[in-house]
Structure 1
Amino acid sequence: MLYDLFILPLTEPYFQKALIGGCIVAIVAGVVGCLVVLRRMAFLGDALSHAMIAGVAGGYLVMKLLFGLEAHAPGMLLGSLLAAIATVALISFVARISRVKEDTAIGIMYTGIFALGVVVVSIFRHYIHIDLMHFIMGDILGVADTDLWVSAFAGAFVLSLLILFFRHFQLATFDPVMAASIGLPVLLLDYLLTTCVSLVVVSAVSMVGVILVVGLLITPAATAYLLSDRLDRMMWLAALFGTTSIIGGLYLCVWLDSAGGGAIMLFCTLQFLVVLTVAPKYGLLARWLRLRSLIPQQVVEDILTTILRYDRPTPLSIIRTYVESGKGLQRALSRMVRDNLLEASEDGYRLTAAGRQEADKVLRAHRLWEAYLATIGTPAREVHSTAHQLEHLGGEAVEYLDEKLGQPKVGPHGNPIP
């Protein structure tokens, strides 16, 4: 059973070629995709993949009419690259000279160039023998030797560029202003990255198609982004997730007898959802646990001021009377003891030196707000309750009040202001 499920597919030449070609593309796409995700260029990758059809049609037509060669891979590769560069140039031109934003310009240009490719294919259908459905959906189980060589050379070239200029790309991605200030050619790096994205798209589109190549470029990188805060580690993880997507997707394709590209992206997306759920720092479970253990700052401050005003070890019953925190009061007290704001004893809770300092800040804010509310005519019966709501603002607002009121020493009820 296990032999039929896992070993038997590996003995088939079509599966071996799909595995090799897919892994090459997935590794390169994952590494480049990290920069795409961090620079928020995902829509541009989608644009380049769609614009490619015009380049493929142009390259096919030129090679057919001038040299009599049909489906010549280097010619279509060059045409696709030129189409990608033209797309980026047009997007930049429209966004720069008009009030149209870049994302809108991307939507306009890529659909226009994609439509141009479709029209050219339909007009010259006697010369261009391209299956549009194959181009859009891909056929990873029908990988040709030429596709393998194209993806290998394109991948080696792209990875070489990224290794050579890794520090430059890293700085231009996270702090382009600083990169420009120290003399790095930020615009040239942007075009170089766009060229890398174009090469990845061109080398992958024959295997997984126009639609799914964007998924290979984005999803493994996004999955790695959930697990790492370092670019180099993120790139390694993205390459790993891309490879596992290819392997898992190909087996899924064989077991379910489904389309290869679709199975790969389905596995890739499921992989992302699993990581999104269980990621130790940025996952949904981790977020839920953080929110569950989160103590509102207002509750902490209310506990501090309650104990400060009681001025002796304060029993839990007294704190519960004045602090509205529901079932989370005991958890809040335990956290404050761990944070060295409170000391627990048999008689109740008392403030530490750090806790008294924090409590004085809140009490100071409360009495300054009382003084301010009294000066603007707030009814005396509402001054305390309103100040109790406003005291949690703190920060610059309190210092502004202190200066505006002339740095008072006592509140409106005769209580000293800390």
Structure 2
Amino acid sequence: MEFVYKALVYPLQQSFFQKALIGGSVAAIVCSVVGCLVILRRMAFLGDALSHAMIAGVAGGYLFMKLAFQTEAYAPAMLVGSLIAAVVTVGSIGFVSRVSRVKDDAAIGIMYTGVFAAGVVMVSIFRNYIHIDLVHFIMGDVLGVADHDLWVAAIAASIVLTTVILFFRQFQLSSFDPVMAASIGMPVVLIDYALTTCVSLVVVSAVSMVGVILVVGLLITPAATAYLLCDRLDRMMMLSAVFGVTSVLGGLYLSIWLDSSGGGAIMIFCTLQFLVVLTVAPQYGLLARWMRLRRMVPEQLVEDVLVTLTRQGGTAATGSLLTEVIGADQERISRALKFMIREGLIVQTPEGLSLSQDGEREARRILRAHRLWETYLHRVGIPAGEVHQKAHELEHVHDRDSVEYLDDLLGHPIRDPHGAQIPENYVSCAAGNVCSLSILREGRTVSIESVGAEAQNSGLYPGQKVTIGPRLEDGVMWSVLLEDGKTITLSHSVADAIKGRVLR
């Protein structure tokens, strides 16, 4: 019990710890809430830029108070000077990105380093008037928070949180869809400047208390942690604030136990918190991603199963047979079969596994692609012994446009080089659809819808009912049977130019 008292209770009784906890929590809450908008807008680099550029404003505030009033600067002067430096930095970034080819990220890097360097030079030149500890400015001293720091942080937090609450919908819409926001009349540019002002106010109010590194960390890391768990902005903001406060609390205890810098300990705890959530987040975490990848069934394996079942000729198959034919390990085949049963592609029967109606259509589509690729490879001179294996690799390229282009290029062949029938395009040739006569097979009946320029002398006209006959001259000519018993012969280009609605 004494150990627990010294480790957990005793620090809470110390005034410096209480002030650090209050000040750090206030800074963490407002940083975390605004940080959600910063994360969604991909403005993380801007927060870092403003926090570094602030040194010029702080130095200017010190110098102004010393020269104008012969007194040391205090918090309001630092705040005003920092805000001016932030406005100058943001304005310079916007100007450079608008008038040059330089993108926003490069403009931020150029301008903030310039303003930061100007502040450092100012401090060194006027070192007799300006008393700024640059290490303290960058690292902060959260365990040495003064009362005026708490007041400045509280006032800035009140202003920023009130602005976010009042204009939440505007911030939300302009963050997710700025084009839509502009189209419905929202002043997107003004909203952007309002958010930038809020970020500036958050940064300048917290840097004097927690330092540059910590304010950037609190602006980004808790919001990023919440982003892994939430898909709604309001919940993300609330959860981000919780993560910010727990980071401050855990970090302060860590700094007491390790006798280390308060700001550094808070940032370490905040980062560890992010890494834990990154690992265990139920939807976007590493474990969830690993589980999804483990359960994922490769599309190629599913297609191999479908084609193998099709080649069985309608008879049921077993998992062991599929494993032997496809060559994949039994666990992968078993996982693929469970997935395909869930998707309705195959059905489990007492005799074994069979294709469903959806599975048969998908299998015909893949088999059609395979046999078209075989035909193409044979025509370009690939040795007969290699055609099947190469076509097996290419059959997975079976998007509709590619396959139909290949089919047309080959002249809509009916059989592959091995004599096997190439499945018909069952989508385009379905009853009720309008398609070219060239893709229809023997026995199909259509009503002519249109006749292109190349087919004006074909003897066919809109409104006729015709039946597709057998291919002639090694498959390069189409025969069409009229209702009066006459037969018309069409070339590939003419058959392509005639469209008909499929009746049966």
TM bin, normalised by shorter chain, reads over 0.9
Bigger relative contact order, structure 1 or 2 (CA pairs below 8 A, ≥6 apart): 1
Q: CA deviation at 1:92?
A: 1.5
- Aligned partner of 2:309 in structure 1 is 307
Corresponding residue for residue 490 of structure 2 = none
Q: State the AA in 2 paired with 1:343.
A: V
What is aligned with 1:29? 31
Q: CA deviation at 1:95?
A: 1.9
Identify the match of residue 297 of structure 2 among 274, 295, 298.
295
Q: 1:257-310: CA deviations, max 9, x gaps?
A: 111100100000000010011001111111111111111000000001101110
The separation in 2 between residues aligned to 1:402 and 1:239, in whole angstroms, is 59
Is the 2:372–2:422 contact (alpha carbons within 8 Å) kept by the matching residues of 1?
Answer: no
Q: Quick one: which of 421, 428, 441 aligns to 1:415?
A: 421
Choose the corresponding residue for 2:47, options 37, 45, 48.
45
Query: Secondary structure of 1:364's match?
Result: helix
Residue in 1 that maps onto 2:332: 328
Larger Rg: 2
CA contact (8 A) 1:30 1:220 kept: yes
Of Structure 1 and Structure 2, the greater helix share is in 1
Q: Deviations over 1:179-236 (max 9, x none)?
A: 2222222222211111111111111112221122111100001101111111111111
Unaligned runs of 5+ in 2: 425-504
Q: Deviations over 1:71-128 (max 9, x none)?
A: 3111110110110111111112122222222222211111111111111111111211
Is residue 2:406 matched to residue 1:401? Answer: yes
The offset of 1:69, in angstroms, is 3.4
Q: TM-score, normalization: structure 1? A: 0.96
User: How far, CA to CA, are the matches of 2:178 and 2:243 in structure 1?
Assistant: 28
Counterpart among 219, 230, 233 of residue 231 in structure 1: 233
1:293 and 1:305 map into 2 onto residues whose CA distance is 22
For residues 236 and 407 of structure 2, the distance between their equivalents in structure 1, rounded to whole angstroms, comes to 49
The answer (yes or no) to whether the contact 1:47–1:107 under 8 Å persists in 2 is yes
Using the TM superposition, give the Cα deviation of residue 380 of structure 1 relative to its aligned residue in structure 2, in angstroms. Answer: 2.8
Distance (Å, rounded) in 2 between the aligned partners of 1:416 and 1:246:
68
Count of residues paired in the alignment: 418
Residue of structure 1 aligned with 2:131, choices 125, 129, 132: 129
1:70 aligns to what SS in structure 2? Answer: coil
Secondary structure at 2:344 match in 1: coil
1:105 alignment partner in structure 2: 107
Q: Percent identity?
A: 65
Q: Partner residue of 1:355?
A: 359
**Shift of residue 370, structure 1, vs aligned partner:** 2.2
Q: Secondary structure at the match of 1:349?
A: strand
- Whether the aligned pair in 2 keeps the contact of 1:140 and 1:206 (CA below 8 Å) is no
- Structure with higher strand content: 2
Residue type of the partner of 1:114?
F
Relative to structure 2, which stretch is displaced further, 397-406 or 162-171? 397-406
2:255 counterpart letter in structure 1 = C
Counterpart Cα distance in 2 of 1:204 and 1:409: 75
Matches for 1:26-105 after TM superposition, within 5 Å:
26-105=28-107
After superposing the two structures, state which structure 1 stretch, 178-187 or 305-314, moved more: 178-187
Equivalent-residue separation in structure 2 for 1:69 and 1:359 (angstroms): 85
Pick one of 169, 172, 177 that aligns with 1:170: 172
Instruction: Say whether 1:204 aligns with 2:219.
Output: no
1:374 and 2:378 correspond = yes
Q: Secondary structure at the match of 2:37?
A: helix
After TM superposition, the score normalised by the length of structure 2 is 0.80
In structure 2, the partner of 1:150 is: 152
SS of 1:295's equivalent?
Answer: coil
Q: Which runs of 4+ in 1 moved over 4 A?
A: none
Name the CA distance, whole Å, in 1 between partners of 2:422 and 2:408. 17
Aligned partners of 2:102, 2:108: CA distance in 1, in Å? 10
